[in-house]
Amino acid sequence: MRATFWKSKFLSVVTASALGVLIGAAIVTAVFREHIFSSKYADIERYYQSQNKKNFELADYKKLLDQQQTAFIEASKNTTPCVVHIKTKSAATRTPIHDFFNPFFGGTPNQPYYQSGSGSGVIISENGYIITNNHVVGDANEIKVILNDKREFDGEIVGTDPNTDIAVIKIDARNLPYIKYGDSDKLQVGEWVLAVGNPFNLTSTVTAGIVSAKARNINIIDRDEKTHFPIEAFIQTDAAVNPGNSGGALVNLNSELVGINTAIATNTGAYQGYSFAVPINLARKIAEDIINYGAVQRALLGVNIQDVNGELAKKKGLSTNQGVYVNGVAENGAARSAGIVEGDVIISVDNVKTNSVAELQEQIGRRRPGDKVKVKIMRGDKEMTIDVVLRNKDGNTGIIKEEKLDVNSIRNKLGASFRPITDNIKARFDIDNGLEVYNVENQGKLAQEGISNGYIILSVDEKPVKTVEDLVEAFNKKKSGAIVLTLITPFGKKVYRAIPAN
């Protein structure tokens, strides 16, 4: 009886305590929510009063929230049909070790070796031009484009730009929904944006976040002092972006394209808080160059540069802690010709501040050779504005045309000579067509893939070849990635090799 009494007492105390905790939590939650709501309301009311507008009522705040929600819904609805799913197959180089082990794992010996990939793209015209990332399609031998309405098309690479990781592909279609361009210069840190793409093959996925930073350089694009001059001035956001989002759209709440989603900051390969997009003002220029000229018209200032910071300013005795320091100028560059010298600090281009190398590279990267820009510099404690006519990589203002191979240059490209096969070779290997490989150079592309004198090229990307002109045409058609050669060795064995197109 006593035990029952104390047990009952204990349960009553526990129940009362639990109820008290729940009531207390509810009160705290209500107060917290009321505080947050009141705080937001007060902030907006103060803003309206500062603008000499009518007092802000509670109904106005609710209306504002409804308008924001509607903006998210409308932006998603308007842009999702303009974003496509891209699936690729890319040829990879096979080595003798592949051919040896492949049968043990259920494969067929001496077959082309392909890797699958996936990404996103954005339709920018009603007749089928699509902008995406170079790393999505640059190595592709086969491109499939799946629209939001489930239709599928074969995609063809129009051109690529490894320096900005932008590429343009084309599908044979008409009357497509296409996205309208925004102005990435007007994008503000703290502004809401949506990322639209196909992460993990989950089609038509929309995520939201804010712009965290602009002109961010994260050093992910390969740098080659002779051929690659990367431009990294990414828009940083906290919208969730994962593998498969690459090449997709970053849009504002006006349903405008403001960036091309390109990369994430991660230690795991998946989203960990920040993502990066190429600003559309830069990406649009690259895409238009590819479509209109067949090659990117890269304008160069002709300077070696680095960010100005407190340490550099003290070391060099600079009068400013901001801007871009000129370490040197090229002999035949635009900067030297205009009068910019080593030691100058570039603080703006056409009245747009350039507080970092990334910001300067973005501004110059959006111009073409022959464009004139006003470069504002600090020389000592004196501010100056200098007119600069930008130049191309050759040191002039001409248009750079797409390089085409011919029967003479194909030898230099591949490091070998080619000739149609004779009747004796046809009879020996029981074939109807092909090119004999001879004069193979030790360090040439073919030699690097183990192709030596006496090999016969039967086809290129599964298209039979009979003449050297056929080979030239195949390489000229291939904008990037690898070309698959079907060959016969001098001993009569059929093999496949993937040769980089560029």
pLDDT for position 468: 94
Rounded distance, CA 102 to CA 231, Å? Answer: 41
**Which of 292, 209, 196, 282 lies closest to 244, judged by CA?**
196
Mean pLDDT over 376-402 rounds to 93
Mean pLDDT of the chain: 85
Mean pLDDT over 29-58 rounds to 52
User: Over pLDDT 70: what percentage of the chain?
Assistant: 81
Banded model confidence at residue 37, pLDDT cuts 50, 70, 90: very low
The correct answer on CATH 2.40.10.120 for the domain covering 67-295 is yes
Which residues have a Cβ under 8 Å from the Cβ of 146 and sit 6 or more positions away?
84, 85, 86, 87, 152, 203
- Amino acid letter at 22? L
| More confident position, 25 or 416 | 416
Handedness of CA 64, 66, 72, 73 (dihedral sign): negative
Enumerate the H helices of 186-341 as residue ranges: 280-293, 310-316, 334-338
CA dihedral 340→341→343→349, nearest 10 degrees, is: 10
Whether residue 105 is predicted with pLDDT greater than 50 in this model: the reply is no
| More confident position, 266 or 380 | 380
Strands 142-146 and 83-92: antiparallel
Enumerate the H helices of 342-408 as residue ranges: 357-365
pLDDT for position 283: 97
Rounded distance, CA 349 to CA 77, Å? Answer: 37
Handedness of CA 215, 218, 221, 222 (dihedral sign): positive
Edge to edge, the sheet with strand 156-161 lists 152-154, 142-146, 83-92, 113-123, 129-133, 166-170, 156-161
Task: Find out whether 453 and 437 touch, Cβ atoms under 8 Å.
Answer: yes
E strand spans, 32-81: none
Task: Find out whether 327 and 335 touch, Cβ atoms under 8 Å.
Answer: no
pLDDT for position 56: 56
Rounded distance, CA 124 to CA 115, Å? Answer: 28
Q: How many CB atoms lie within 10 A of CB 331?
A: 8
**Which of 240, 242, 245 lies closest to 269, judged by CA?**
242
Structure tokens at 53: 């507008």
Domain ranges of the chain: 2-56, 67-295, 303-389, 409-500
Asked whether this chain's domains 303-389 and 409-500 adopt the same fold, the reply is yes
| pLDDT per residue as tens digits for the range 207-265 | 999 999 999 998 887 665 445 678 999 999 999 999 999 999 999 999 999 999 998 87
- Amino acid letter at 388? V
CATH topology of domain 303-389: Pdz3 Domain (2.30.42)
Rounded distance, CA 367 to CA 375, Å? Answer: 13
Catalytic machinery residues: 135, 165, 246
Q: Which of 65-74, 237-246, 364-373, 487-496 is predicted with the least confidence, judged by mean pLDDT?
A: 65-74
What architecture does CATH give domain 409-500? Answer: Roll (2.30)
Rounded distance, CA 28 to CA 41, Å? Answer: 19
Count of residues making up the chain: 502
pTM summary value:
0.79
Handedness of CA 213, 217, 219, 223 (dihedral sign): positive
| pLDDT per residue as tens digits for the range 310-361 | 999 999 999 999 999 999 999 999 999 999 999 999 999 999 999 999 999 9
